[in-house]
Amino acid sequence: MKRSWFVTGTDTDVGKTAICCALLSAANECGLRTAAIKPVAAGCDSNGHNSDALELQAAMSEMLDYAQVNPVALECAIAPHIAAKLEGRNLKASQLEGICRGTMTGSAEFTLIEGAGGWRVPLNASETLADLASRLQIGIILVVGMKLGCINHALLTAEAIRRDGLPLVAWVANQVGPRMAQHDDNVETLRQLLSAPLLGDVPHIVPYSFLAAREYLSIDALLR
């Protein structure tokens, strides 16, 4: 059975890629064929490659070309719609949907589609990445950056996801820096209020290794 999810975050720099790689690793260990897509990435090297997309490419089991993993690679590490405008490109949710569906219907059994930043990151004057998720009609995995303010950010994001008619199927608590004050109390509050399974509580790992992060995650709730 093929399964696909859209991975979003409570903000930028909350570790979406790191968690995606750890989830891919967990699925690989289960013997599943895995793939990941970073439809839009802003901030690329001289080869036109984004570091997040390269990490996803390395973590998945399927051999996909870079262009399949990251079809829209923008040079400047700024908001995607602004970076696209600087390059004279027009981002459209409908075009990204077609690209994503091509991979979703391929050989992979476990596919993650990683957004950019948070839920409402603009693609153009009238669309956001949330419109891409809505077109795909797949479940959402929310990565919560565990820091002061995370409860508000997580609840607002979950509310927006549900208002857009999509299910929040799971979430991950990811410690993005030194352990926050009353960390366990914050996780427990979110566990009670998000009404979705917690896949794992990942500590701040230095140096980071998605294989180490994988030890704190379970994908059982995704495979039921």
Active site residues: 38
DSSP three-state, residue 110:
strand
Instruction: Quote the CA–CA distance of 88 and 129 in Å, as a whole number.
Output: 19
48: tokens are 């036109």
Nearest Cα neighbor of 109 from 16, 161, 32 is 32
Q: Residue 33 corresponds to which amino acid?
A: R
| Separation between Cα atoms, residue 53 and residue 61, nearest integer Å | 14
Half-sphere exposure of 24 (CA within 13 A, CB side): 26
Sign, CA dihedral 164-93-117-112, equals positive
> Cα–Cα distance between 151 and 32 in angstroms, integer?
33
